[in-house]
Amino acid sequence: MNMECDWLFCCDGDEMSGLGHVGRCLGYAEMLADAGYTCTFQGNYGFTALGMIESGGFKYISAPRLSTQPFDVLALLHPGTGVILDSYDVNVQSISKLYNYLKKIPLILIDDFALHSNYSCDALINFTIGATRLIYPEGDFQRYLGPDFYPARRWLRRLRESRSLQPHTGEICRILIIAGGNDLCGINQAFLKLLLESGWSNCEVAVLISDDQADVTDLKRLLSGFSIGILLPRQPNLEDWLAWADACLCGGGLVKYECLYAGIPVASLAQNEGQANDSKFLAQQGLIADLGSGPGDLSLMLRFLTDREWRISMQKTGRNIVGGLSGQGGLKPFQSVLQ
């Protein structure tokens, strides 16, 4: 295969990595495409991730997971402008090898958690709200930290605009539950149990499940306890269902920021330490309800469901912090490395 492109996005989107890496890379890719660049994706992709990439209008190359491949495939791709790497599975040695291989072609890393002892790259992006609190090592690379660089996708920008015209300020009647990834921690069931224990069975609930979740018996049983319970297959994007929802219950990843951007009240259960730290910081800023991990905090769930003023405050603050600019701040890292 011989394929030319301007920007190559290296990220996985499978049962192990979830869809967050693909989702945020698509946000940047759409901004770059709107600016006239061609973008291609390379990685190990499940059915839903492929649908997301194709719905964005991008080509892709299927490859082994980034943790297993030596990046030799890059020699066939000819990325003419730059490479973006978004993976927590690639070690420092592999990143350094890729950086040296690319030579004059810029390498941009996306890293939410300051995972590495050194960074061989031209620029690093962390759009999370607590990014400036993290300690990244010294190095000759540009840093783009904070929500000014959040990559809102096209559909999310549409949703933000439509909800700004009709902000939700009433009671919670419809709840969307999104664990993210393969729900290895049982987040979907934990949310459903919290809702039932909170006495919230009279609402409509939709649960998004993963591509390969074969056994949904327990989820169906729990959903039968609500006035309306919907089991959703993975979607190429969440525009219709986030527009439907009065509130969202999610894992600790990208969905939190999509809800904050669109102005949707959100409560989260973290699935790993990095997500837990980020959620805790967002909760301290009054942006989300952090239900912790494991079975979750029942009393906080009750407050989230019943405290209308708290939810309205979350909506307003979140929209101001995430996406408060024109939405084009995400292009700056790419423009800067080319100067």
3-state helix, strand and coil shares in percent for the chain, rounded to the nearest 5: 40, 20, 40
Q: 199 with 262, same domain?
A: yes
Q: 138 with 224, same domain?
A: no
Q: 207 with 292, same domain?
A: yes
CATH number at residue 107: 3.40.50.11190
Q: 148 with 162, same domain?
A: no
d(CA 150, CA 183): 25
Q: 257 with 217, same domain?
A: yes
13 neighbors 66 (Cβ within 8 angstroms): no
d(CA 314, CA 301): 15
Q: 283 with 301, same domain?
A: yes
d(CA 178, CA 260): 15
Residue-by-residue pLDDT tens, the chain, 339 positions: 345 679 999 999 987 888 899 999 999 999 999 999 999 999 999 888 999 999 999 999 888 888 776 565 554 456 678 999 999 888 888 899 889 888 888 999 999 999 899 999 999 999 999 999 999 999 999 999 999 999 999 999 999 988 876 666 678 999 999 987 678 788 999 999 999 999 999 999 999 987 666 678 999 999 999 999 999 988 888 999 999 999 999 987 899 999 999 999 999 998 888 889 999 999 999 999 999 988 889 999 999 999 999 999 999 899 889 875 445 678 899 999 988
- Tell me the pTM: 0.92
Q: 83 with 29, same domain?
A: yes
Q: 208 with 280, same domain?
A: yes
Q: 70 with 103, same domain?
A: yes
Q: 220 with 286, same domain?
A: yes
Q: 31 with 177, same domain?
A: no
CATH number at residue 163: 3.40.50.2000
Number of structural domains, the chain? 2
Domain that holds residue 251: 155-321
Q: 136 with 199, same domain?
A: no
